[in-house]
Structure 1
Amino acid sequence: MDATTKILVVGDVRGRFKQLFQRVEQVNKKAGPFEILCCVGDFFGEEKQNDELIAYKNGFKHITVPTYILGPNRKEHQQHFENLTDGEVCPNLTYLGKRGVYTLSSGVKIAYLSGMEAAVGDAAASHEFTKADIGAVRNSCLVSKNCSTEYRGVDVLLTSQWPYGIQEKENTNASKLISFLAREIKPRYHFCGINGSHFECPPFRMPKDETTQFELCTRFISLAEVGNAEKAKYIYALSLKPVDKSRLLDLVQKTTNEIECPFIGLDLSGSISKNETSENRQYFYDMDSSGNRKRQGNQGGKNKRPRIQQIDQEKCWFCLSSPDVEKHLIIAVGERFYLALAKGPINSHHVLIMSTKHIPCSAQLSPEDWEELDKFKNSLRQFFKSLGQAVCFTERHYKSVHLQINVLAFEEGYAWKIKHSFEDKAEEFNLEFETLPQLTSAKMLPEMGPYFLAELPDESTLITRQMKHFPLHFARDVFCSENLLNCDEKVNWKECLLEKDEELAHVESFRKAFQPFDFTDDDDD
């Protein structure tokens, strides 16, 4: 029998860090171990209250359970989330990001949405979410389902703001967008904060729709503020078996105290357009109603990407302006990206796509950046196809400071084996991967925090955010496995270093063969 996963959730912390982490340590010793602590509502408080976090940042005090927080709900708290490296506030304390789905090693899926709903017609501030954010979370949940079964929902939904439809008289600050999201992704548990009170609604069932014929049960829970004078409940413990591994009978079995779903019959027309409801089950990653993919710029301040941490490009090995970049490895240079031979290549066709300026990962690319990256990928696909080969692109945004996309090709007959090889190696390292459709914009990737992804020859994408102790040679482990290239001795790139004259020969050979497909060569004419 599969073991359950223990999770803690708390409401608004508002700077009472010492009280929170002491309480969590007690609960963990008594009823743990807990795999994760999730915080909804306001994590930071007034400026003087936040001083309690200094001891944790300096290492004098330690957080015993890995803690993940949502983003700001007010403008004055935004400063605490700027310039974070991989979302880390301090050891064992991480900002999840504006929105997304976080999958634990056990397979438990936690969907999350930070901030408050932006007013209709106004430009969204950094502490607000929009319809586009709702769509991104919804799609991430739906495309990660097991293709062989009907959709079973997600395990947990974390939002700071309440959904509209629950306690309207007591709660005037509720969001119809969150109601829509909850109805669409069907969480087993939905946790909120902000309102300063503990409230548990009787369980209710989401209606059937085109994703599933099951009526799945949701339990809504609002948590009080840490250290509140009324001693209302602010911490909640869960023991969960992942929904995808649960018995169907347990998911559909009804209880005697259920109420009607509060989201049925709600008029969401002012918030959600028709082509984004359950009646039209089209995944709408940057798509219009006709299904045409669109690249959307930063219009009026909306949908801003996270601020990119400023790094001296002269000190980065991979920035093209750096004196340390090994220019003899360069094959082709575009306006925003360049192609280079990999250092310690697995074979002579092992290359890298890298940004010319300092960008940490693909998730932080602008639409213009993404367009040129697509050009490089498509040129390489065509090039390798002319050689009877299929190509795989991988990116590891973990313990790497500069965007690097590894490119490796295989004989076309091996293309079907690549996904299975990733899955086998993931099982070996106890990693859980989700499958996404073809990547078409940075908005499909996690806004904050590390990740690893592999774009397969069929253009579907495997992605994981389980990056704690992630094996740095994971992609090479897969490529060098017995099922593919069968060269375990090349897993470590340092064991494959070439002499400079060998590197020059590989570069010249690749450049000559790639020339008919090199769009940067056309730009120079």
Structure 2
Amino acid sequence: MASKIVIIGDINGKLSEVFGKLATLHLKQNFAFAIIAGNLFADPDTATDDENQELVKLLQGSITVPLPTYFALGRYALPAAVVEKLDESLGELCPNLTILGRKVSIKTSEGFRIVAVGGEHVDGADDPMSQYTATYKDADAAAAAKGLVDADILLTSDWPANVRDGANAQYAGEAPAGVQSISDLCTALKPRYHFSTSENFYEREPFFHDGPSPRSVTRFLSLAPYGNATKQKWIYAFSLEPSAPPPKMAAGITASPFTTNRKRKLDSQEDNYNNFRYANGNGESHYERGGGRGKRQRYQPPPKPDECFFCLSNKNCETHMIGSIGSDVYLTIAKGPLPLRSTFPSLGFPGHILLIPLQHAPTMSAIADKEARQSTVTEMQRYRGALQSMLVSRSKGEDGRSALGAVTWEISRGSGVHLHWQFMPVPVDLIQRGLVEAAFDVEAENSTYPKFAKTYKEMEGAEEGDFMKVMIWSESMRKEMVLPLDKSFRFDLQFGRRVLGKLLGLGKRTHWKDCAQSQAEEEADAAAFKEAFKAFDFSLEEA
């Protein structure tokens, strides 16, 4: 049976206010328990008279805690009177209020496993410390998971390192520095929810962990302080059932940002590694056999893998445009690239790249094997990240900032042939000024298309059917937007090229067929790409 749980961010000594609000909510929602994920008390070194008086009232029983509540050991040292009371009462500060401590694992009466690592991370050996000392070391984080293989809720004062990698959700301001041992702890426990606190509210897209199917999924949220000036979310309520199986892989979910794939060569691909040719990946139908644009083609059944220009089993292939081959995905320079070599001179080649799954499927969800689908998603994201790192390295200015960002787009249609992503550099200034996002919005409106979905829930709904996804990236900004596709309008497969072509002053290069290159030019561009990408190409690590 599912239970309602409520999580609260930093209270910082405002005890009467928060517990009063919690009592009102509890009357309506009937929570099983509450968790205070951040600082319950104000910093003892700077606490005001009012905050000190609140503490006295709590210890004297003048403040009522309305339901069973656990509080984490935040970043502030606990007041001496609190430590004394906790030592006397084995962790219960007052009725309904219990500390979780520096490193702890508990199981609630409802059957939920809660693991907490509180305090601020410090380096060094694991010297003996009180369970209420507001610091922890890497060994403490490791010890918190000892003997456990999973958890329902993980609470940490620090963020896990790299948690925003592969995410589109933005953090307002400078995000907290992460700690690697917390990432390792999350990977070991695979919690269903991971909560922390920060100056601003942040909710990452859910991510799945490596392992057998069905894979565990974690949701990471960081709550803002109570009473924050910008009124960001400081309280989060949800329903959870203990020991429930992992949820189905919903739209918007990503691979874990804490793990990286090892290169794995599939036996079935061994004989086909030299049989590649990229012939058509810019949205044109694979089975449009040389017909002119704008002509209605006689229907032919979709090609089989040995006929598909994107598939390894097509024997009529060439190798001169391939840039990298991974375990589940390969990269190729684009046929008829939108940019010229002179568009982004710091790269040395046009920069228009395609990321193509080895699996022959029109959409990611059409890959029948769950493990293959998830590993493909992971490697697509990893390749995109590597390409972005290459852009940063090649275009970094004297100020240490990259002059280039990137736009990646995907057209996912059940009637398609072979899914792929198109990757394009764009000047970072266009991204930061919002001009890339605006260009897609305006072109969609001019084409009488639906509006792009931009909130997480809207995008999740849009991705239940056919869609076009646009991923906009720079070092300081990430944005994702999804255009739902249905039969109410005719979608132009060159839409992405058209938008970026207009934005970059390359409007005459909208269609790939108008940008043909000689094989010698293609070979030169592929060689330049391989050289530029070599330092970031993880497929070479075990080659």
- TM-score > 0.5 by shorter chain: no
TM-score of the aligned structures, taking structure 2 as reference length = 0.42
- Give the greater-gyration-radius structure (CA): 2
TM-score of the aligned structures, taking structure 1 as reference length = 0.44
| Structure with higher RCO (Cα < 8 A, 6+ apart) | 1
